[in-house]
């Protein structure tokens, strides 16, 4: 990795991979076109990346189809797939610094977190599913007096995987790992803002011994390369993480083409409920971490903080005090907790919401402004006196903007927390087990964190209720997305 020093601990990795990865080779796009990927710290171009489109997706699908129909991957003993996946995981671990640095320059993510948490989390996800590969089995069914059956769980086929820019490495492995374990072949389309680490992973996959055609990476834009995946006649499954608006398009395209299986992990407007008996310090830390982690660019962000009236003022005071610790600056600097937003679009969109919040009459407690002369930096922003009907309380902002609201009873908190089209996650801060149990069973969301927030692990599934999507990431549940069940029936007595 080439190191560069600007007085801080800045490490700029050399960009080694910029082309599409199809059938085991790095290739130019058919059109020869490229697009720029931008460093959100500086607004400068990092590299030009091959721009894949429909023709490139077609070529990648042909390779993935051949690898599925005739290649070794789905036919290998499952433990052998697991062994190769373990090797892939080891190679990622050996390159952790370089990979974390790629996500830092591409997405403005904290380098220290990438190195210590996010790339290791991608590795442990891959290892979890490497171990799961040979634990997939069906059932034996008695049926009736005349027949018996057994079920086989077979790989679904060629998968199209469309991922967002907020966690380029983690999202890649949340989807690719169970797909590989199941014996599928795949085409991954990373977000156009963050193509760098995905191409590096493709290179490591080949070194690990994943056969050509099994894992293809086509970089490009959503309405072209992404749409070519969701509408393709020879892709068996599309697994998408991104906005609810685009999720709807993906599902529509799947329905209008070959009715491919669809799973969607979409937006959220997740509530964190802080009850009167909560420890003020802990609750404020959870609210800030839940809302500002990764500059609020996280689908489970605790963007609605409901605080019970008895503790409300103390929490607001503590939030204001602690928000100052969210040091904003270069994400390579180890003292930084808050880097730049991913790109200019997001930057402008978030600032627009902040202006809206002010106009709607919410009280700006902290932040609200941009930071520095260059780069897409926005201060961690907290609004209080927010009302449920305000746009900042309803829309997914996908940035560092928290809305604090006051409530009096548990029933009120549950009703208001559920009054959203989303249902991805929720948090509860209380010492009262009855409150925790009642609220966790009443909130319609795919994951509930009690006295913690954003606690993830490869064995714990999460995903959406309502318009946050369907299908689950992680856990053995995620294997189901890449498998289909075949029943094999035989007569008990041959006539």
- In the bound state with ligand ADP, the residue whose beta carbon lies nearer, of 124 and 257, is 257
Minimum CB separation from ligand ADP for residue 249, in Å?
Answer: 4
User: Which residues, 6+ apart, have CB-to-CB distance to 110 below 8 Å?
Assistant: 104, 294, 331, 336, 337, 339
Q: Which is nearer to ligand ADP, 346 or 366 (CB)?
A: 346
- Least CB distance to ligand ADP at residue 47 (A): 18
Q: Give how many residues touch ligand ADP by CB under 6 A.
A: 17
Q: How far is the CB of 370 from ligand ADP (least distance, A)?
A: 20
Among 23, 34, 124, 243, binds ligand ADP (CB under 6 A): 243
d(CA 477, CA 471): 8
Distance CA 130, CA 110 (A): 28
Question: Which residue in 72, 77, 209, 223 binds ligand ADP (CB under 6 A)?
Answer: 223
- Beta carbon nearer to ligand ADP, 112 or 199: 199
Residue 192 interacting with ligand ADP (CB under 6 A): yes
Give 250 or 443: the residue with its C-beta nearer to ligand ADP.
Answer: 250
Q: How many angstroms separate the CA atoms of 183 and 177, rounded?
A: 10
Q: Which is nearer to ligand ADP, 243 or 261 (CB)?
A: 243
Residue closer to ligand ADP, measured from CB, 198 or 429: 198
Q: Is 354 in the site for ligand ADP (CB under 6 A)?
A: no
Distance between CA atoms of 21 and 197, rounded to whole angstroms?
Answer: 12
Residue pair 339/109 in contact (Cβ under 8 Å)? The answer is yes
In this complex, which beta carbon is closest to ligand ADP, that of residue 193 or of residue 430? 193
Give min distance, CB of 225 to ligand ADP, in A: 7
**Residues 249-288 within binding reach of ligand ADP (CB under 6 A):** 249-250
* Stretch of 222-230, 331-339, 417-425, 456-464 contacting ligand ADP, by CB under 6 A: 222-230
Which of 49, 105, 246, 299 touches ligand ADP by CB under 6 A? 246
Residues recognised as catalytic? 265, 299
Render 211-268 in DSSP notation, one character per residue: PTTTEEE--B-IIIIIHHHHT-TT--EEEEES-HHHHHHHHHHHHHTT--EEEEE---
User: Residue 321 burial by CB count (10 A; 0-12/13-18/19+): exposed, middle or buried?
Assistant: exposed
Are the C-beta atoms of residues 46 and 15 closer than 8 Å to each other?
A: yes
Q: How far apart are CA 46 and CA 195, in angstroms?
A: 11
The CB-of-262 to ligand ADP minimum distance in angstroms stands at 12
Q: Phi-psi region for residue 398, left (φ > 0), alpha (ψ -120 to 50) or beta?
A: left
- Alpha-carbon distance 197 to 168, whole Å? 7
Distance CA 106, CA 406 (A): 38
Contact status: 195 vs ligand ADP (CB under 6 A): no
**C-alpha–C-alpha distance, residues 172 and 163, integer Å:** 7
Interacting residues with ligand ADP between 149 and 178 (CB under 6 A) = 162-164
3-state helix, strand, coil in the chain (%, to 5): 40, 20, 40
Cβ closer to ligand ADP: 156 or 227? 227
Tokens representing 286? Answer: 């959870």
Can residue 108 be called a binding residue for ligand ADP (CB under 6 A)?
no
Instruction: Please select the residue that binds ligand ADP; options are 108, 222, 380, 471, rule is CB under 6 A.
Output: 222
The minimum distance between CB 52 and ligand ADP, in angstroms, equals 11
Under the criterion CB under 6 A, does residue 227 sit at the interface with ligand ADP?
yes
| Shortest distance, position 440 Cβ to ligand ADP, whole Å | 28
**Segment contacting ligand ADP (CB under 6 A): 113-121, 148-156, 243-251, 361-369?**
243-251
Of the candidates 75, 97, 73, 95, the residue with the CA atom closest to the CA atom of residue 85: 73
- Give the nearest distance from C-beta 105 to ligand ADP in angstroms: 18
Residues in contact with ligand ADP, shown as a per-residue x/- string from 31 to 50 under the rule CB under 6 A: --------------------
* 344 or 409: CB nearest ligand ADP: 344
Comparing every residue's Cβ against ligand ADP, the nearest one is 222
| 56 alpha carbon, distance to own chain's centre | 25
Find out whether 122 and 103 touch, Cβ atoms under 8 Å.
no
Residue 191 as a binder of ligand ADP (CB under 6 A): the answer is yes
Q: Which residues contact 129 (CB under 8 A, 6 or more apart)?
A: 85, 177, 178, 180, 181, 458, 478, 479
Q: Is 189 in the site for ligand ADP (CB under 6 A)?
A: yes
Nearest Cα to Cα of residue 16 among 216, 190, 199 = 199
What are the backbone angles phi and psi of residue 116, rounded to the nearest 5°?
-90, -25
Of 137-145, 244-252, 257-265, 453-461, which part binds ligand ADP (CB under 6 A)? 244-252
Residues that bind ligand ADP (CB under 6 A): 162-164, 189, 191-192, 221-223, 226-227, 230, 242-243, 246, 249-250
């Amino acid at each position: 990795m080439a190191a560069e020093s600007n007085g801080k601990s800045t490490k700029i990795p050399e960009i080694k991979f910029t082309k599409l990865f199809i059938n085991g080779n790095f290739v130019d796009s058919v059109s020869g076109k490229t697009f720029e990927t931008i460093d959100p710290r500086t607004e400068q171009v990092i590299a030009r990346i091959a721009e894949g489109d429909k023709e490139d997706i077609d070529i990648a699908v042909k390779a993935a189809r051949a690898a599925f129909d005739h290649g070794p991957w789905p036919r290998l003993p499952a433990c052998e797939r697991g062994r190769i996946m373990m090797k892939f995981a080891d190679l990622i671990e050996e390159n952790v610094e370089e990979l974390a640095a790629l996500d830092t320059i591409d997405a403005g993510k904290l380098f220290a977190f990438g190195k210590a948490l996010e790339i290791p989390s991608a590795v442990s996800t891959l290892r979890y599913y490497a171990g799961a590969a040979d634990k997939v089995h069906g059932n034996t069914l008695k049926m009736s007096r005349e027949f018996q059956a057994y079920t086989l769980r077979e790989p679904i086929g060629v998968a199209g995987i469309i991922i967002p820019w907020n966690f380029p490495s983690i999202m890649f492995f949340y989807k690719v790992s169970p797909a590989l374990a199941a014996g599928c072949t795949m085409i991954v389309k990373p977000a156009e803002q963050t193509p760098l680490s995905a191409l590096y992973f493709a290179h490591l996959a080949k070194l690990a011994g994943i056969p050509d055609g099994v894992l293809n990476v086509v970089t490009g834009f959503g309405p072209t390369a992404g749409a070519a995946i969701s509408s393709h006649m020879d892709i068996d499954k599309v697994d998408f993480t991104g906005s609810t608006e685009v999720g709807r398009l993906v599902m529509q395209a799947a329905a209008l083409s070959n009715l491919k299986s669809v799973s969607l992990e979409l937006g959220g407007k997740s509530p964190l409920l802080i009850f009167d008996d909560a420890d003020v310090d802990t609750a404020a830390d959870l609210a800030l971490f839940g809302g500002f982690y990764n500059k609020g660019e996280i689908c489970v962000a605790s963007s609605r903080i409901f605080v019970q009236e008895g503790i409300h003022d103390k929490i607001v005071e503590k939030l204001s005090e602690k928000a100052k610790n969210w040091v904003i600056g270069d994400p390579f600097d180890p003292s930084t907790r808050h880097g730049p937003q991913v790109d200019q679009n997001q930057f402008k969109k978030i600032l627009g919401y902040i202006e809206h919040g002010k106009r709607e009459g919410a009280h700006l407690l902290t932040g609200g402004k941009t930071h520095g002369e260059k780069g897409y930096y926005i201060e961690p922003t907290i609004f209080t006196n927010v009302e449920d009907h305000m746009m900042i309380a309803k829309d997914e902002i996908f940035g560092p903007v928290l809305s604090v609201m006051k409530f009096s009873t548990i029933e009120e908190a549950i009703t208001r927390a559920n009054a959203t089209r989303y249902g991805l996650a929720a948090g509860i801060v209380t010492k009262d087990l009855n409150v925790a149990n009642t609220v966790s069973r009443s909130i319609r969301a795919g994951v509930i964190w009690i006295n913690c927030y954003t606690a993830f692990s490869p064995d714990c599934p999460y995903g959406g209720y309502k318009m946050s999507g369907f299908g689950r990431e992680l856990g053995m549940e995620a294997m189901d997305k890449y498998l289909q069940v075949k029943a094999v029936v035989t007569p008990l007595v041959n006539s």
